Structure 1
């Protein structure tokens, strides 16, 4: 939120501090801000500048503390209250963030910036209906605000109101011809609405504009009826960075996701002495570690989302983390290194298992286990299916078992699950694969890709 604008020497000093923060000159900015605090201890603008400094330094807790100080100085000023709501949301403290968002809206019910910020807080908190209500009101007050309209359209899309989202993205495009964010989202709207010809038209426009863009190439292939081998790295990172703060509550509470708990049970039944090392691919927020507890070995987490890793680290169970994608981790890990490799709810984004299963086999020690989950494709479908509604991959269990055995795993068990998790209020079928590397690996095992 913007600060009150004045034109006195102290305001000019604050503006200079703000410029230093923007330029990354944090040490002189911090020193000057400390001096400003001593000179004007009750000036709320100093506290708000402290929020910016803490943000730039990556100190999220410090940003919340500074925002609390601003509210304590000016409890009735909507700018300070909104800032506190935003900072609490960034820390994942959504319950309190929503309290302050509601308070800010009550203080300034006709201020579009407040309503827009409150809508983003609500979206992060998983309250899509409230987010839409606030964003819609903000847009009525400021209909020419195109970034706001883009956010509103995105909220409609996440609420599966694809036609309404399409209309809003089109309005942005009418006002800003060539807006690439609107074009990309219109493509996904067309796919969700089953308008293949429009999806292909938009995909062709985008591929001409951005031929080297990984995400554009992916969606161009999908629009033209192809099944890309894997999802773009940027798409997965963006999804889970946005999702990290509320991942556990939503996935376990809302979607009834039980795979980490079940896999932990399987592992401890196989190795009750807890003497094993685990490579947890796509570790997310560390739910497997929570259910496994302490091991007499190392639990190593791999994830593409740094924010997911930050959440997982809070449990204090993982030995260390690697911020890389799953395929790179598999390729670069030395052979005969782990007793266990897990990969839960991640292959739905990886897709093609050709580079996955052989490398997992190579990395495992003799007698080690590769345990992973998949969404289930029907046996009369292709081995690999990209679901258009969710943009996730489903795998055929018989094909996965065949790949494991052809790679050299001597025991392959498939545990079918009627509900891997809920999706749109319905149970989504899936399966757990428990594949064991022989105590003596066969000499003719296929080479890893």
Structure 2
């Protein structure tokens, strides 16, 4: 029997039955399924309340306390609060919390600090990089001269010698570190040395490991990075949006102008409030315990899958994210993801380094422990999840196994309710 929606979730929705049905359907999906997609998490009721507030009504442009519109007294206080919390959490001097997304944060930094056509050196999407770092299908890929570095074929790790050779050949104005599917710690000091050698800025996109950075469980980008960007909704468990952080005062006006009016207009103030709320939560002691559990749970899941004979790209993980190579199973990522979703396990297909298959039907899966850990899952739960994933991958067409797994998933979810 489905659980009723929470009281705070429904006010006003009853006036639009079709919309209410879809929203409550999504709530039921989240409650009764296990989220393993690395770009998702489960926000608190505080974040939901901040984002669903009267701040939706307010339009502001420009920086806090220097707006183009009036009536911004409380808007200024909210944005300033989010900035101060971000600076405290990541021990930096300056921040911009206005970006609507991580992609906007990156695009704004590029626009503010580079000239159109300047050279950028970033990780190839096929090796684990992010499309906003210069993929040819994006504006950044079209507006700048992009060179990509990858990973070593044997170790599947970033090869600093290759990065240096490419930097010396392309003379980039910006080197970008971080990505969407690289599960290992990055040598920021080594990349900064290369950046200094060629006169480039080093930008670190820490979207997938920001929470671990904040709690000392992953190498800190500062002081090596000139600029750090992040989303606020993955490892930070907050509002959907982005942030830019830096320490050099001479960059401030250019970065801020790159965000507004460079790549976006009015501030989404309700989202900024949601960011302030999640940063408040991230500054509490229990956030450290959460991130320690994220890391332990990810490693337990990876180890369980490896024990079932599934290869983990790079042999493990240093964050909540991992890549699973399905090549030995004969099952492609798209087929596996569809079967797992039917069983109540939400994952995403993903290319692995040097993948011979296309992005639409790649050889891998990308998994994350972030949302499950937020829900309260521990090592034993993630070991069970690993068993279920292996079972479905081995028999993706076995509807009886899928149905049986779905019942087990549902029982586990009901033991760890959300909202």
Could you tell me the TM-score, scaled by structure 2's length? 0.29
Could you tell me the TM-score, scaled by structure 1's length? 0.28
| Larger Cα-atom Rg | 1
RCO higher in structure (CA 8 A, sep ≥6) = 2
Q: Which structure features the higher share of helix residues?
A: 1
